[in-house]
């Protein structure tokens, strides 16, 4: 006879049932969680364990000049990978490949031991190195093929193009600005592996092809760029200057045809000194100091740096005065060498020692007379003067498609402009601008008064030539009227034919220009003996095809713009107009004219009074921008040199000894 279950048995049974129920419920919960809730995540983790994926590099877009010349291309490059789980003896592997990839054995061992699954050991090795490693047949070491950037013209247009880092990311220039277009989208190679990360021989592979980057078509013309670079190199050497910057722009479209900075750097090795002198200087620098030197070298002077424009800024003052109707062709100015209308302040004309006297508007412009321009600015007034300075684009970004553009420094409010500031701004002091702003302003007076958005890139295309994006000319605003523009162009031409810009005169071409000389500001102070010489030009003035700006930083010896920058502007203008097939127009009078010439006398050692007297008697003119001279100052140098045959009425530049 069975015993009747006791109460204790019932309790134990209930507990057992409860425990079993909980276990079943827990297992059911885990099953639902694994099969439903976490299914996707677990699937991904499983795939990670039995698949390997290798990124396939896309081909970076090609950079072309406006005529299709390749300026930046790609060359084969190889990367060494380590599959960590397949390498049993890292030390032995390191010993074999260290001399090939030129990395220390210790570094390779550390990379392998501290790696998980895949580890990149070396990027951008050449084909010969890759083949040598492959021939070793080392388990766990793999080579993938990619590309690296190559610049076939080395240091050509370096400040336009820029360069890439080891991972093909754009650094500086259009390589950086348009990096998102150029770099493309990486692909992926996926393959199945066993527990030891070995590829399964009969399992399939999945390859997601990369999408290559888009190509850039620049506005730069390789030939015009060469003209600019050659002229900049000559100016740098001839004047023993710190640096030279030349920009050529199409004033009607805003397209930059050339942009050259010297000294420059090799895009294929941007961290290497380009000359022996620099190499020697860099050899003694600390890593931090060396890096700072690289950053200085890579700065694009045209858009990243500021300078006082000097007399080239007088174009803005004259345009404002003419547009406001406060001056016209018949307006006269009197220059006695000084301006003393501001209490406690005396401002001087560059030729204070030989004043211009009475002169009309065109003569004042051609003579670059400071006194005349101070009077113009006073007639325009502070409000309007600031309005025109801003209208011409100073104090704001031009929109150039290059990185790091600066706005410049101008007064923000009329209240910030004192009487002295207004006077000095009239001739390009008390303001700081970028070269790209200055060439854009010059272009505005050349194209009937329209301020353009300057640009470097003309179009973006894919590998099949399909247009992805096009950059058309953009007028930001009209700054001055067409009639004012034509008047300024006439004045610019007179400056070249009769004024301070005669060294830019080109027979058969109507060239207009304005010279500029300004003492440099370093750490907020003017530095005696350091100057920036410049020339801004337009040609032909009757139908402007190009605007040119030449800036020579810290020339040695003679430093005024007409002599230092003018001849190199002439080189660029003449070569470019001939290349563009612009015909010369030499008048019958010029053809039949018997040009009278004289031989330049030796003036070195003579006083200012004696030298200028001799020049006037011979029918020659002279110029000097030196302020610290007196009638007894002695000539230390001259251009042209003694014995040179020149036309009567030519300009002789005089360089005087510094006064103690």
Q: Which residues have a catalytic role annotated?
A: 311
- Angle between helix axes 382-391 and 370-380 (nearest 10 degrees) is 100
d(CA 151, CA 20): 74
Contact 242, 88 (CB under 8 A): no
Encode burial over 39-63: b for 16+ CB neighbours within 10 A, e otherwise.
eeeeeeeeeeeebbeeebbbbbbbb
Whole-angstrom Cα Rg for the chain: 35
Query: What DSSP string describes 360-415?
Result: EHHHHHHHT-HHHHHHHHHHH-HHHHHHHHHHTTTTS----SSTT----B--SSGG
Backbone phi, psi, residue 491, to 5°? -70, -40
For residue 336, the 8-state DSSP code is: -
Query: What DSSP string describes 413-465?
Result: SGGG--HHHHHHHTTT-S-BB-HHHHHHHHHHHHTTSEEE--BSEEEEE-TT-
Q: Which two tokens stand for residue 544?
A: 């402007």
**CA 295 to each of CA 65, 229, 522: distance values in angstroms, whole numbers, following the listed order:** 26, 21, 19
Within 13 Å, how many C-alpha atoms sit on residue 410's CB side? 28
Contact 517, 495 (CB under 8 A): no
d(CA 566, CA 576): 15
Contact 254, 443 (CB under 8 A): yes
In terms of Cα–Cα distance, which of 169, 217, 177, 212 is closest to 63? 217
């Amino acid at each position: 006879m069975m015993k009747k279950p006791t109460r204790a048995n019932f309790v134990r049974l209930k507990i057992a049932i409860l425990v079993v129920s909980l276990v079943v419920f827990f297992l059911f919960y885990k099953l639902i969680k694994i099969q439903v809730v976490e299914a996707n995540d677990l699937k991904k983790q499983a795939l990670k364990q039995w698949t390997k994926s290798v990124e396939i590099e896309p081909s970076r877009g090609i950079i072309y000049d406006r005529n299709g010349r390749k300026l930046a291309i790609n060359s084969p490059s190889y990367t060494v990978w380590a599959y960590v789980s397949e390498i049993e003896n890292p030390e032995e592997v390191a010993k074999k490949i260290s001399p090939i990839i030129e990395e220390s054995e210790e570094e390779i061992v550390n990379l392998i031991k501290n790696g998980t699954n895949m580890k990149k050991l070396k990027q951008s090795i050449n084909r010969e190195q890759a083949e040598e490693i492959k021939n070793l047949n080392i388990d766990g070491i793999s080579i993938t093929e990619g590309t690296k950037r190559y610049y076939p013209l080395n240091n050509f247009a370096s400040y336009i193009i820029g360069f890439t880092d080891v991972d093909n990311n754009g650094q500086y220039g259009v390589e950086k600005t348009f990096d998102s277009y150029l770099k493309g989208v990486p692909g992926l190679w996926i393959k199945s592996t066993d527990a030891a990360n070995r590829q399964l021989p009969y399992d399939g592979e999945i390859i997601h092809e990369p999408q290559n980057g888009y190509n850039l078509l620049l506005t730069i013309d390789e030939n015009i760029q060469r003209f600019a670079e050659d002229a900049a190199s000559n100016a740098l050497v001839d004047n023993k200057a710190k640096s030279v910057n030349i920009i050529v722009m199409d004033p009607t479209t805003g397209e930059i045809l050339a942009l050259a900075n010297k000294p420059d750097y090799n895009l294929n090795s941007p961290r290497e000194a380009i000359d022996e002198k620099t190499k020697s200087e860099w050899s003694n620098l600390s890593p931090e100091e060396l890096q700072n030197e690289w950053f200085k070298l890579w700065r694009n002077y045209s858009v990243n740096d500021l300078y006082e424009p000097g007399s080239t800024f007088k174009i803005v003052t004259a345009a404002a005065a003419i547009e406001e109707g406060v001056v016209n062709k018949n307006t006269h100015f009197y220059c006695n060498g000084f301006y003393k209308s501001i209490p406690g302040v005396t401002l001087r004309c560059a030729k204070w020692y030989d004043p211009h006297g009475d002169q009309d508007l065109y003569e004042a412009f051609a003579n670059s007379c400071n006194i005349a321009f101070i009077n113009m600015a006073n007639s325009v007034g502070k409000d309007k003067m600031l309005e025109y300075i801003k209208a011409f684009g100073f104090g704001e970004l031009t929109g150039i498609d290059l990185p790091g553009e600066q706005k410049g420094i101008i007064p923000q409010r009329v209240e910030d402009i004192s009487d002295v500031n207004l006077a000095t701004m009239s001739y390009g002091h008390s303001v700081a601008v970028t070269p790209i702003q200055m060439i854009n302003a010059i272009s505005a007076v050349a194209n009937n008064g329209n301020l353009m958005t300057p640009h470097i890139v003309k179009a973006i295309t894919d590998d099949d030539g399909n247009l992805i994006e096009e950059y058309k000319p953009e007028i930001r605003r009209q700054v001055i009227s067409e009639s004012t523009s034509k008047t300024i162009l006439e004045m610019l031409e007179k400056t070249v034919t009769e004024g301070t810009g005669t060294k830019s005169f080109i027979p058969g071409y109507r060239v207009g220009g304005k010279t500029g000389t300004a003492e440099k500001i370093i750490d907020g102070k003017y530095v005696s003996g350091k100057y920036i010489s410049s020339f801004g030009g337009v040609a032909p003035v009757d139908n402007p095809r190009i605007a040119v700006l030449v800036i020579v930083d810290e020339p040695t010896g003679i430093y005024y713009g007409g002599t230092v920058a003018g001849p190199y502007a002439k080189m660029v203008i003449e070569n470019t107009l001939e290349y563009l097939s612009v015909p010369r127009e030499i008048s019958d009078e010029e053809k039949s004219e018997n040009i009278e010439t004289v031989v330049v006398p030796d003036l070195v050692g003579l006083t200012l009074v004696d030298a200028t007297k001799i020049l006037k008697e011979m029918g020659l003119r002279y110029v000097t921008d030196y302020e610290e001279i007196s009638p007894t100052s002695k000539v230390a140098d001259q251009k042209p040199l003694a014995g040179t045959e020149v036309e009567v009425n030519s300009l002789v530049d005089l360089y005087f000894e510094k006064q103690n």
